[in-house]
Amino acid sequence: MNLMREKNMQHTTQRAQTHELLKSRGIERALFANIATVKWLTGFAPPIQTGPSPFLGGPPLVWYENGHWTLMVLDWQEANAGEFARQENCALVSYTGYTIDQPLTGQVKLRGLFRSVVKNNLSGKIGIEARDAPADIALTLHELGAAELIPVDTWLESFRRIKTPEEIQKLRDNFFLTDIGHAAARQAVQVGATEIDVWNAAHYAIEKAAGQRVPLGNDCVVGYRKDNVGGAPLKYEIRAGDSVIVDLSTILRGYWSDSCATYYATEPTAKQRAMHNTAQRALDMGISLVKPGAVAREIDFQVRELMRKEGYPVYWHHTGHSLGVTSHEDPRIVPYNDMKLEENMVIMLEPGIYFSGETGVRLEDAVLVTRDGAEILTRHDKSMP
Amino acid sequence: MNLMREKNMQHTTQRAQTHELLKSRGIERALFANIATVKWLTGFAPPIQTGPSPFLGGPPLVWYENGHWTLMVLDWQEANAGEFARQENCALVSYTGYTIDQPLTGQVKLRGLFRSVVKNNLSGKIGIEARDAPADIALTLHELGAAELIPVDTWLESFRRIKTPEEIQKLRDNFFLTDIGHAAARQAVQVGATEIDVWNAAHYAIEKAAGQRVPLGNDCVVGYRKDNVGGAPLKYEIRAGDSVIVDLSTILRGYWSDSCATYYATEPTAKQRAMHNTAQRALDMGISLVKPGAVAREIDFQVRELMRKEGYPVYWHHTGHSLGVTSHEDPRIVPYNDMKLEENMVIMLEPGIYFSGETGVRLEDAVLVTRDGAEILTRHDKSMP
């Protein structure tokens, strides 16, 4: 795996697309405050595993002004930003978070930094991610003379659906990590082990391979749990005959992966074999439908239909979804979604069968929509023992 | 460890204090949006390890109105809130996050829920945590008729310094987890192991003991790192003669722990023994100064003086800090701080000595300020082999 980024990309496409859009709508200035947007626009991704730092003044902010970009972050984040944030037409500025010389006032300092970046006399329309911008930052814009604030919260979502080559490389590297996690989890599913043991085996293998801490999300649930569709690992012990659903999402360079498999501590029962085979057929069928022009809800319908025809209860969750700077985004493969797939979308598909308190199976792959079909990005072993 | 909460506490003291304060300032309504405040007011703590969920509409919000409280959360958070949020004079309401029946619009739904909770015709002064409230929620308040918004961002900090018996119990349980992590880390520091190996050993032992996922923060750095004061574990290998600083913070029920020790793969050198002994004396001396009435900056000064007198470079970081719903808060034990310690404050003390690229030592304990002195809450083994 190559954890270094290609030098000549650095999310320039994303900023160019956004610039064109804002320009076409007559917006000369804009504030972006949603962490997903900030990652997408700049490639900058702060650590997240322990929540917001007490030194942090607020979310990283991006200010746009006539094709120029400024990313505002905590000084400690700047020190760790490296190449991620030192980019063409995107300045990086920071405020003091930690000091032993005065009380901690990161939030006041972020506001001061914001003021100095934005300057005075804001004329014209100003775009703002109002759902995520802190109220006091929005108020600062008002104080600086902003007359007309235009909410732009959802404006970039359609761009985000189509992944750039740089993003696809980040996702490939990240799926490689979940593959490693799955191999370790598969080994760790043994009679007497707990869900936490399996989780730890996966997480450890992932961090060892990455050479750094990696956030890990999703599910590790033994079949006899009442809610055996998903959930964080607990101390449930794995017994002979048990199935274990392991659904892993890692976050690398701000981008999410995802993938699921079902493992067995002993020889699967005949019922489990039949369920597993149906889930695999459903997944394969779903993948076979993926190509440019395919309609999301039609894939959803076909995969559910296969479940129903093979005599199983149809899962209540989505058939699939895309991902990127968040773990779940459009195109969602769900009953209402008329959206058509396009080249360079990345789609997760994850049909499952669940018998509450008894056993369950879910299998999930990631696919890249190619010019005439799909390339599978996940390579974990989903076969039965 | 008892992970269940006592039934008769549930942060009622915190809400009562806040109610009295708001009443005394003539504020009949207030919006709290800072996650630390929300945890402190209600005991409700959402999971944090993978960042915000794509189904989340924004931070959990607390609305105060004349002594009555309403906590607004995502439906999945409500399902997992259990007893934490079903409390006397604090209603729990939620909005739909995940659905396969329509597009994901958690942010729109949170705003709708907020509207329905707040109702119309907001007269009088309205308190608001403006640094954390989303701009569109503040705008909604304005639309509903709020005339006078009063920023209350820092108003509760002085209350937060004095821990309630319930909070002290949460902290004790949590320090017990870091003790377990340290015992495992101590064992794992072996020639040939990497920082990530040591980290994983600690994290695994903690989650195993807790029977659930536990966020883990802070440092695991081998002495020969250039910046050997702190940092997340990487793939640096531990060699004979190396020191390893392991600084662990866990988060349990929304409350943070903290504690540090220094371990050695082999017999420490004479230099390391001397450093370690000085760090231990500095820590012991700091602890001996802790009692009601002691001034934060004087403790800071005395501990630094001991370092200086024993011939070592004086560390650049704080001597200590408090914690609770965040990892670092007042009273900070730093040079400027005139604050006096009071009974039921919890203070971390963590003197260290660092030789960049060579070796380092830091030792840290938590102490509870008692009526006439201090009780040590951390029990990890900080001795040399």
Mean pLDDT value across residues A35-50: 94
Dump pLDDT digits (tens) for A305-334: 999 999 999 999 999 999 999 999 999 999
Closest Cα in chain B, distance from residue A55 (Å): 8
Mean pLDDT value across residues B301-307: 98
Q: Identify which of A131, A196, A328 has the shortest CB distance to residue B207.
A: A196
Protein fold of B165-376: Creatine Amidinohydrolase (3.90.230)
Has residue B261 got a pLDDT over 90?
yes
Mutual angle of helices B106-118 and B135-143, in 10-degree steps: 40
Lowest mean pLDDT among A87-96, A152-161, B28-37, B349-358: A87-96
Q: How far is CA A265 from CA A194, A230, A237, A276, in A?
A: 11, 18, 11, 14
Q: Please judge whether B328 and A104 are an interchain contact, meaning their C-beta atoms are less than 8 angstroms apart.
A: yes
* Neighbour count for residue A271 (Cβ, 10 Å): 11
pLDDT at B6: 45
In angstroms and rounded to an integer, the radius of gyration of the C-alpha atoms of chain A is 23
If you average pLDDT over every residue of chain B, what do you get? 95
Has residue A6 got a pLDDT over 90?
no
Which phi-psi region, left, alpha or beta, contains residue A125 (left: φ > 0; alpha: ψ -120 to 50)?
Answer: beta
CB B377 within 8 A of CB B172: yes
Closest Cα in chain B, distance from residue A266 (Å): 23
Mean pLDDT value across residues B292-313: 98
Mean pLDDT value across residues B280-305: 98
Amino acid at B228: N
Dump pLDDT digits (tens) for B308-359: 999 999 999 999 999 999 999 999 999 999 999 999 999 999 999 999 999 9
Q: Taking the complete model, does pTM exceed 0.90, yes or no?
A: yes
* Neighbour count for residue B2 (Cβ, 10 Å): 8
Has residue A5 got a pLDDT over 90?
no
Question: Does A155 lie at the interface with B, CB-CB under 8 angstroms?
Answer: no
Gap between the Cα atoms of B379 and A1, Å rounded = 41
Q: Please judge whether B200 and A204 are an interchain contact, meaning their C-beta atoms are less than 8 angstroms apart.
A: yes
Looking at the DSSP bridge assignments, the partners of residue B321 are: B348
Give the confidence band of A84 by pLDDT, cuts at 50, 70, 90.
low
Between residues 7 and 36 of chain B, which touch chain A (CB distance below 8 Å)?
35
- A12-160 maps to CATH 3.40.120.10: no
* Neighbour count for residue B38 (Cβ, 10 Å): 25
Dump pLDDT digits (tens) for B99-134: 999 999 999 999 999 999 999 779 899 999 999 999
Has residue A4 got a pLDDT over 60?
no
Q: Identify which of B48, B102, B132 has the shortest CB distance to residue A134.
A: B132
Give the confidence band of B78 by pLDDT, cuts at 50, 70, 90.
confident
**Which contacts (CB < 8 Å, 24+ apart) does range A4-7 have?**
A5/A43, A5/A83, A5/A84, A5/A166, A5/A170, A5/A253, A6/A166, A6/A169, A7/A83
Give the confidence band of B88 by pLDDT, cuts at 50, 70, 90.
confident
The pair of three-digit structure tokens given for residue B104, joined into one six-digit string? 């994901």
Q: In what order do the strands lie in the sheet with B90-95?
A: B90-95, B68-74, B61-65, B27-32, B125-128, B148-151
Burial class (CB in 10 A: 0-12, 13-18, 19+), A55: buried
Question: Taking Cα atoms as reference points, which of B283, B292, B295 lies closest to residue B351?
Answer: B283
CA atoms within 13 A on the CB side of B270: 0
Gap between the Cα atoms of B157 and B37, Å rounded = 9
Gap between the Cα atoms of B330 and B322, Å rounded = 5
Question: Taking Cα atoms as reference points, which of A216, A242, A247 lies closest to residue A231?
Answer: A247
Domain range summary for chain B, segments of one domain joined by +: 12-160, 165-376
Gap between the Cα atoms of A233 and A231, Å rounded = 6
Has residue A348 got a pLDDT over 70?
yes
Q: Please judge whether A49 and B215 are an interchain contact, meaning their C-beta atoms are less than 8 angstroms apart.
A: yes
Closest Cα in chain A, distance from residue B23 (Å): 24
DSSP string for residues in B124-139? SEEEE-TTTSBHHHHH
**What value of ipTM does the predicted structure carry?**
0.95
The pair of three-digit structure tokens given for residue A102, joined into one six-digit string? 């005065």
Q: Please judge whether A251 and B51 are an interchain contact, meaning their C-beta atoms are less than 8 angstroms apart.
A: yes
